Amino acid sequence: MKNLASIIDCFGKNKPDKLRNSHGNPFSTVQYITAILKAYGIQHIVISPGNQNSMFASIVQQDNFFKLYSVVDERSAAYTATGIAYETNEPVVIACTEATASRNYISALTEAYYRKLPIIALTFFNYAATEFTAIPQHLDRSVSQNDIKTVSVTLPRISDNTDRLRFLALANGALAGIRHNPAPVHINCPSSLDYSEGYQELPQTIWTTEYYDIDFEHLTAELQNKKISVYIGSHAKFDKETEKLISDFAESYDASVFCDQSSNYHGKNKILISMAATSGIKNNPADILIDIGNVSGEYQSWPLINQQRIWRVSENGEFKCRFDKPINKLFNCKEKEFFRTLKNKSSEKIRYYQDLKQIEADYTYPEFGMSNMFVCQQAAKYLPQNSSLHLGILNSLRCMNYFKLDESIDVNVNVGGFGIDGAVSSLLGQSLVNKDKLCFGIIGDLAFFYDMNALGQRDLGKNFRIIVINNNKGVEFKLNKNLTEHLGYEGVEPYIAAAGHFKGGAKSWAETCGFKYLRAETKEEVTSQLNEFCSPDSDKPILFEIITNDDDDIKDRKEIESLAKKKC
């Protein structure tokens, strides 16, 4: 395989995304998939005749890099590929047109699946055809047997940079591990029949991923004298050994560990994502970012991963890139194995976390109004040690990401499915399995009332505590500039933010279900009742309804962003 640096300029800083060739013609998806096959060093291609795959055939036949084989019958072509893959131990592409051609691959792909042979079924289709158009040859390839492929992707037709980024995520997701975990994959590609001048030229703004599962200790050399950060998305509770290994790794390089509250990381060199993304820290990016964990609910975190080379550690080998950013290296191994193996063996390191820590120490918060930000700021001071906290997926999580909690507090957020439903019920489940542990929730009014039936559960105990942030609407949508700049706040309110529902609040429902009910409409009422809300001495579960002001939410958000610009 060619060295990444020689063929890829996507990792460079502030380089334009080139979507046209030297003749000014746009690159097609066919040219992009050819380029990425070449970048991965995949040479063997078995081609069957057809119209939709004709441009692909015309490109690769003029490139001496590829080794081509012509087989007319697609069934025979696919079996021929299994023989080539077995003999060479290399991935082999089979390429065909639309209609029933791809159906003839099924038996050989089944063979490849059970023998673990790396066959890439590259099928082409007419982009103009749909299930509602009477265009000849169009077939539905969206569903196929489980045992003919491990991955199936349909590539977009590339017309802008968003399409290009989507293509790169899908193509690399299909191809990154094929040499290390050999098995058939399916790539469905929109065809192009534009044979205009310059069509043989291939795009350069692509990226590929190096794959590792064993023998990567030599990569410590690449980490030497580099600014390094670890990025942790939502994560299950860490075992003590893994957490210590991450801490030791971070200290050995003076690396920063960027987390949101759902990371459950309680180790060293920790910096909260929201604060980092809205401070001068984002202007001091790392050279290499180690990415672990699952989805992060903090949308603002993209500046922290915008320019680095990203090394992704995936314990199940799953390919996931954040915000479509290139994955330079993918490690299919246990997190503890990665951090143990690549810990800095040298005493030399670049000062990085210590500099970011100083920026963090200089961060000054504005005076918040009666908002979710104020509630989270105050709750962070009162939540007791060894408790659990469940946060709503958007505004509550974002707000709490600015404030440090006691390191003994575990945090859970439903960022997997990332929907409005289930936050109260998830908190309920946490509270039921450990009656001696206080379980707190901070959840907005729409999400609370959506799931409020959970409060009637007969086994609910006194350890259940929930703050309902009630601004009588989904204020998250009024914080979305893409919406408000075009629709205005008034245009967002009735059907997007769903303002005006649940006018009676939660009091009657809470008391009917046996809760102690608290209510606050001022900042003073919030702070004066947090002690009672957090006390372990209550003989009932507690619901604390806090009436916030969406104007204050908007103001506080603007002030945080304004503060970030000043710091930068």
Domains in the chain (CATH in brackets) are 4-206 (3.40.50.970), 217-361 (3.40.50.1220), 372-567 (3.40.50.970)
Could you tell me how far CA 140 lies from the centroid of its own chain? 29
Q: Is 392 helix (H, G, I), strand (E, B) or coil?
A: coil
Residue 164: burial class (beta carbons within 10 Å; 0-12, 13-18, 19+): buried
**C-beta of residue 427 within 8 angstroms of C-beta of residue 288:** no
The Cα 239–Cα 245 span in angstroms is 10
Q: What is the mean pLDDT of residues 267-284?
A: 86
Q: What is the mean pLDDT of residues 449-462?
A: 92
The Cα 319–Cα 313 span in angstroms is 9
Percent of the chain with pLDDT over 90: 70
Long-range contacts for 317-322 (Cβ within 8 Å, ≥24 apart)?
Answer: 317/177, 317/181, 317/213, 319/172, 319/173, 319/176, 319/177, 319/209, 321/169, 321/172, 322/231, 322/233, 322/291, 322/296
What is the tens place of the pLDDT at every residue in 487-533? 998 999 899 989 888 888 999 999 999 999 999 999 999 999 999 99
Least confident interval from 72-86, 188-202, 262-276, 327-341: 188-202
Paired with 542 in beta bridges are 465, 516
Q: How many residues are there in the chain? A: 568
Q: Which residues of 80-102 are buried (b: 16+ CB within 10 A; e: fewer)?
A: bbbebbeeeebbbbbbbbbbebb
Question: Is 80 exceeded by the pLDDT of residue 131?
Answer: no
**Other CB atoms closer than 10 Å to residue 369's CB: what's the count?**
17
Find, among 149, 165, 170, the residue nearest to 325 by Cα. Answer: 165
Q: Is 292 helix (H, G, I), strand (E, B) or coil?
A: strand
67 contact partners, CB below 8 Å, separation of at least 6: 43, 44, 45
Find, among 435, 428, 429, 384, the residue nearest to 410 by Cα. Answer: 384
Give this prediction's pTM: 0.89
Q: How confident is the model at residue 12 (pLDDT cuts 50, 70, 90)?
A: very low
Kindly write down the DSSP assignment for every residue of 512-548, as one continuous string. Answer: HTT-EEEEESSHHHHHHHHHHHH-TT-SS-EEEEEE-
**C-beta of residue 279 within 8 angstroms of C-beta of residue 360:** yes
Which pLDDT value is given to residue 564?
55
The Cα 45–Cα 398 span in angstroms is 49
**C-beta of residue 164 within 8 angstroms of C-beta of residue 29:** no
Question: Is 70 exceeded by the pLDDT of residue 16?
Answer: no
**C-beta of residue 482 within 8 angstroms of C-beta of residue 424:** no
What is the tens place of the pLDDT at every residue in 355-386? 999 888 877 888 999 999 999 999 999 999 99
Amino acid at 288: I
CA angle 99, 104, 110 (to 5 degrees): 135
Phi, psi angles (nearest 5°) of residue 103 = -65, -30
Residue 455: burial class (beta carbons within 10 Å; 0-12, 13-18, 19+): buried
What is the tens place of the pLDDT at every residue in 387-400? 999 999 888 998 99
The Cα 99–Cα 186 span in angstroms is 16
Q: Is 367 helix (H, G, I), strand (E, B) or coil?
A: coil
Measured N-to-C along each axis, helices 161-175 and 29-39 cross at an angle, to the nearest 10 degrees, of 40
| Residue 564 or residue 446, greater confidence | 446
SS3 of 393-460: the string is CCHHHHHHCCCCCCCCCEEEECCCCCCCCCHHHHHHHHHHHCCCCCEEEEEEHHHHHHCHHHHHCCCC
Find, among 45, 53, 38, 51, the residue nearest to 77 by Cα. Answer: 45
Residue 311: burial class (beta carbons within 10 Å; 0-12, 13-18, 19+): buried
Torsion, CA 218, CA 223, CA 225, CA 226, rounded to 10: 160
The Cα 284–Cα 268 span in angstroms is 20
Q: How confident is the model at residue 563 (pLDDT cuts 50, 70, 90)?
A: low
**Other CB atoms closer than 10 Å to residue 539's CB: what's the count?**
6
Which pLDDT value is given to residue 17?
54
298 contact partners, CB below 8 Å, separation of at least 6: 260, 273, 274, 277, 397, 398, 401
